[in-house]
Chain A
Amino acid sequence: MAWKHITVSRRMLFIWCMLAGFIVLLSPKNLTSKFQFAFTYVFRWPLSIGRNISLSAATRQPLGDKDTVSRDEYERLLNHLANITQQRDDAQRTIQKLSKMRNTPAWERMSFVLSDVITVSIDNLRGELIINRGKEDGLEKDLFVLADNSIIGTISDVGTRSARVRLFTDPASITKVRIGNNKLMKGCGNNQAKVEMLKEKVKIDTKIMASKIPGFLDTPMIIGKVVRCEHNDQPLLWDITVEPVCDIQKIESIHVIVMNPSE
């Protein structure tokens, strides 16, 4: 079969390409995101290698005095934890006796889907992860994601075998948190989020808990810590800046919380 040389004017070429661009732009997101997940799935191996090189290149910070505790202090804290755990279990039993009904703790009704991180994108414009679990593994949109026992974000998009996690620091992310009562925490990029218009000053390093959302998170869990507390533009009000309690750039695997799994 002989090839026929087709000549297309530059103007027509540009118009065709623009048309293709607008078709892609206006297509439903669940359709176009399949291209993105397919790319991530096909190139997951080189993507992981690139990320590992990036992690290796990052210099390891030496432990400072505030990051280490003595053996005695460690034992003391461990004992304190054991005492607190025992007191909690006793309190739980007392509540069950008084209420005459079985009360299953929230964490016993959770199922965790372990997933590896393929790519991490954290900058001023975005904060998201791509993970290697998807619909086939029971993931759904809006499920909470844990890393190092702290909430880091929610599932924003699910493919067949991969999913996108929107971090709570993403500029498009809004998370309900508990500071006294429920407040909204907005991501502001650069691995930080903000809670605005608080009536009281909050101490630095105060732990911030994600509020419970029935069906997705049945118990409050730690999400971040306060790194800055500044005056709002309005007098007598405060804005706090929150950072994750784990180093998201270095995490290699995460857990997706599935509440009340069917199996």
Chain B
Amino acid sequence: MHWLRFAVLVLLATVLQASFFADLNSKPDLLLILLVFFAVYCDTSDAIICSFVIGFAADLIGQTMGPQMISYGIFGSALAYIHRVITIRKIPYQIVAIFITALLAGSLACLLNFLKGEPSPPKIYAPLFGIALYSSIVGPFLFLPSAWWMRIRKPGRFGRR
């Protein structure tokens, strides 16, 4: 795992998400796409660390610190474990993986925000669905340049530690 390249990629995604995509109504979540990418392309231990770090980055540009770190960490780790059993190699599988992870991680983050006492919007499911949909459409096309940047070959079902 090239951690310096990982840091650059996550910082780039965080800055883009907070600036270029910040004032769009319908937008993909670049950090969530990276979460699924690292869960699918890295070995399980690295995927766990990546999930929590990406969650921390999402919190830096979010409403409050903590909820996304936990939700991304849990669902990124879960996806990495699932990938040990079911290979998420084809694009349709990747689309489904991004969509479901976005919905679950977003819902848990909203719940944790609510439990922390932060004001939360009354209707969260429509925006969450939109983010999940756009992320799942854009996501698989970002996997290839991300894999090139990270010097990672295609994921193999039996090649994981």
Interface string of B138-153 (1 = CB under 8 A from A): 0000000000000000
Cβ contact within 8 Å between B66 and A22? yes
Bound together, the chains give a CA A27 to CA B63 distance in angstroms of 14
A141, chain B: closest CB distance, angstroms: 14
- Please choose the segment from A13-21, A61-69, A216-224, A231-239 that sits at the chain B interface, where 4 or more of its residues have CB less than 8 A away: A13-21
Cβ contact within 8 Å between A54 and B70? no
Contacts A36-B61, A54-B22 supplied; 13 other A-B pairs, CB < 8 Å: A13-B48, A13-B49, A14-B73, A17-B48, A22-B70, A29-B64, A32-B64, A33-B64, A36-B60, A46-B19, A47-B18, A50-B20, A171-B120
Cβ contact within 8 Å between A124 and B130? yes
Contacts of A125 in B (CB 8 A): 121, 124, 127
- Contact pick for A21, options B24, B70, B119, B126, CB 8 Å: B70
Interface string of A26-41 (1 = CB under 8 A from B): 1101001101100110
B67 adjacent to chain A (CB < 8 Å): yes
Cβ contact within 8 Å between A50 and B15? yes
Classify the interface of chain B: helix, strand, loop or mixed. Answer: helix
Bound together, the chains give a CA A83 to CA B68 distance in angstroms of 56
Bound together, the chains give a CA A29 to CA B66 distance in angstroms of 10
Residues facing A in B106-136 (CB within 8 A) are 112, 116, 118-124, 126-127, 130
Chain A: interface size category: 35 or more
Contacts of A48 in B (CB 8 A): 19
Classify the interface of chain A: helix, strand, loop or mixed. Answer: helix
- A binding-site residues for B, Cβ under 8 Å: 8, 10, 13-14, 17-18, 20-22, 24-27, 29, 32-33, 35-36, 39-40, 43, 46-51, 53-54, 119-126, 171-172, 188-190, 249
The residue on B at minimum CB distance from A25 is B66
The residue on A at minimum CB distance from B127 is A124
- B binding-site residues for A, Cβ under 8 Å: 11, 14-16, 18-25, 27, 44-45, 48-49, 51-52, 55-56, 59-61, 63-67, 69-70, 73-74, 77, 112, 116, 118-124, 126-127, 130
Take A53-B20, A126-B63 as given contacts and tell me if A17 and B127 are in contact as well, using a CB distance cutoff of 8 Å: no
Contacts of A25 in B (CB 8 A): 65-67, 69-70, 112, 116
Contacts of B63 in A (CB 8 A): 126
Cβ contact within 8 Å between B65 and A172? no
Bound together, the chains give a CA A48 to CA B18 distance in angstroms of 10
- Contact pick for B18, options A22, A32, A50, CB 8 Å: A50
Q: Which 9 A-B pairs have the closest CB atoms?
A: A50-B19, A25-B66, A172-B119, A171-B121, A32-B65, A124-B127, A21-B70, A17-B52, A50-B20
Cβ contact within 8 Å between B45 and A24? no
